């Protein structure tokens, strides 16, 4: 298997799909120069400016063009630079792309991928640091994906490009440099979680960049409770079966995410588990998420917004 960074894995996935399918193309600001993080670097040399398309600085225009092109039979990959900027294109994505297949009785489809880098990263401050996956999970018609490993960024991006529904694909900016083995032959389906670690006392469900804090918390729990860790990978549809099966065995659930706790997707998981397994639970379901404040520019204040390994370990101990 090849060793790639998270960023390189995403670029390799897009290139592979473009080689396999001439209807796949990408559009966004500065893609010809490699994109804001370099995740498109070199692709224009192979595929040309007709398939790696530089656009004006107008998110609504970019998304609107992609929706129309998808309805006409192509598979556009839309680069939004930051998830925060994609809010300028919410009407095109939420009111048009997400609803077209239903409103046209299945006669039209919008197989586009909207790449939206998310998360706190290097003091990017309040307008460049948000994790908004729960917003899109709320919208019927959208698929929402949050890969964590380079292998998942490769496999899930390929699956997202092949999907016949619009996919909001959210890559965490703090993971770009993370490296790992990538099996380019693996077929990763959307909607299937990854069992990171088996355990018997507590089920911990997380996704995206916060899994780094989860991994750092595990040594703090080495001589204590046995924690089963699940990487959700796809926010919607999410893998209810894996989560419910795990909590049936452990009797305890902790959901951890970087997004604001209020209205976060952890609440959906908590409500589902509490409703389905009320009689099996040995402790109340717990959630950890960011406070409901704008993300500060100041590095110490930004750090205070993040979920820490110590918080996770303390919460797990408290559940027992």
Confidence band, pLDDT 50/70/90 cuts, at residue 1: confident
The stretch 226-232 carries a mean pLDDT of 98
Which one-letter DSSP state was computed for residue 172? B
Judged against a pLDDT cut of 90, whether residue 122 lies above it is answered with: no
Judged against a pLDDT cut of 90, whether residue 191 lies above it is answered with: yes
At residue 172's C-alpha, the angle toward residues 171 and 176, to 5°, is 90
pLDDT tens track for 67-114:
999 999 999 999 999 999 999 999 999 999 999 999 999 999 999 999
Judged against a pLDDT cut of 90, whether residue 129 lies above it is answered with: no
C-alpha–C-alpha distance, residues 307 and 242, integer Å: 24
pLDDT attached to residue 121? 82
Measured between alpha carbons, how far is residue 123 from residues 36, 95, 99, 115, 117 in Å?
16, 32, 36, 21, 15
Task: Please pick, among 128, 172, 257, 317, the residue that the annotation labels catalytic.
Answer: 128
Of the candidates 266, 2, 13, the one whose C-alpha atom is nearest the C-alpha of residue 152 is 13
pLDDT tens track for 268-294:
999 999 999 999 999 999 999 999 999
Q: Is residue 45 exposed (0-12), middle (13-18) or buried (19+ Cβ within 10 Å)?
A: exposed
Confidence band, pLDDT 50/70/90 cuts, at residue 226: very high
Domain annotation for the chain: domains and CATH numbers: 2-182 (3.40.50.970), 194-319 (3.40.50.920)
Q: Residue 128 catalytic?
A: yes
23 phi/psi in degrees, rounded to 5: -85, -5
Of the candidates 311, 314, 306, 281, the one whose C-alpha atom is nearest the C-alpha of residue 203 is 281
pLDDT attached to residue 223? 85
Of the candidates 171, 167, 214, the one whose C-alpha atom is nearest the C-alpha of residue 191 is 167
Confidence band, pLDDT 50/70/90 cuts, at residue 127: confident
Give the long-range contacts of residues 97-104, CB within 8 A, separation 24 or more.
Answer: 97/63, 97/66, 97/67, 97/70, 97/141, 97/142, 97/166, 98/139, 98/140, 98/141, 98/142, 98/166, 99/140, 99/141, 100/67, 100/71, 101/141, 101/165, 102/140, 102/141
Confidence band, pLDDT 50/70/90 cuts, at residue 126: confident
Give the relative orientation of helices 150-162 and 6-20 as an angle to the nearest 10 degrees: 30
The answer to whether the CB of 227 falls within 8 A of the CB of 199 is yes
Percent of the chain with pLDDT strictly greater than 90: 95
pLDDT attached to residue 249? 97
Of the candidates 235, 179, 263, 208, the one whose C-alpha atom is nearest the C-alpha of residue 9 is 179
Q: What is the mean pLDDT of the chain?
A: 96
Instruction: State if pTM tops 0.85.
Output: yes
Confidence band, pLDDT 50/70/90 cuts, at residue 124: confident
The stretch 295-306 carries a mean pLDDT of 92
The stretch 37-53 carries a mean pLDDT of 97
Of the candidates 182, 134, 193, the one whose C-alpha atom is nearest the C-alpha of residue 158 is 182
C-alpha–C-alpha distance, residues 84 and 103, integer Å: 28
Q: What is the pairing mode between strands 143-145 and 234-236?
A: antiparallel
Cβ neighbours, 10 Å, residue 83: 25
Radius of gyration, CA atoms only, the chain = 19
C-alpha–C-alpha distance, residues 273 and 276, integer Å: 5
Question: Cα-Cα-Cα-Cα dihedral of 191, 11, 57, 297, to 10°?
Answer: 80
Of the candidates 153, 195, 151, 202, the one whose C-alpha atom is nearest the C-alpha of residue 173 is 153
Judged against a pLDDT cut of 90, whether residue 319 lies above it is answered with: yes
């Amino acid at each position: 298997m090849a060793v790639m960074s998270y960023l390189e894995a995403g670029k390799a996935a897009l290139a592979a799909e473009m080689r396999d399918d001439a209807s796949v193309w990408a559009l966004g600001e500065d893609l010809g120069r490699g994109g804001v993080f370099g995740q498109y670097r070199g692709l224009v040399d192979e595929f040309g400016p007709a398939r790696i398309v530089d656009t004006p600085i107008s998110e609504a225009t970019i998304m609107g063009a992609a929706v129309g092109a998808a309805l006409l039979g192509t598979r556009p990959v839309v680069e939004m630079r930051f998830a925060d900027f994609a809010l300028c294109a919410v009407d095109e994505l939420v009111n048009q792309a997400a609803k077209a297949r239903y409103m046209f009785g299945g006669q039209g489809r919008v197989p586009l991928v909207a790449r939206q880098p998310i998360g706190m990263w290097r003091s990017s401050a309040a307008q460049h640091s948000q994790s908004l996956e729960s917003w899109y999970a709320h919208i019927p018609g959208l698929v929402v994906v949050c890969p964590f490993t380079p292998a998942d960024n490769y496999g899930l991006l390929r699956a997202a490009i092949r999907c016949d529904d619009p996919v909001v694909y959210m890559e965490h900016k703090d993971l770009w440099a993370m490296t790992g083995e990538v099996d380019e032959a693996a077929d990763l389906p959307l909607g299937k979680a990854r069992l990171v670690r088996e355990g018997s006392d507590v089920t911990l469900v997380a996704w995206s960049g916060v899994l780094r804090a989860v991994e750092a918390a595990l040594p703090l729990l080495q001589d204590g409770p046995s924690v089963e860790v699940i990487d959700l990978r796809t926010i919607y549809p999410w893998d209810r079966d894996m989560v419910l099966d795990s909590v049936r065995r452990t009797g305890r659930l902790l959901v951890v995410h970087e997004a604001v706790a209020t209205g976060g997707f952890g609440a959906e998981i908590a409500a589902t588990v509490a409703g389905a397994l009320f009689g099996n639970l040995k402790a109340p379901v717990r959630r950890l998420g960011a406070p409901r404040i704008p993300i500060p520019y100041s590095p110490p204040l930004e750090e205070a917004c993040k979920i820490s390994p110590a918080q996770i370990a303390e919460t797990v101990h408290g559940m027992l």
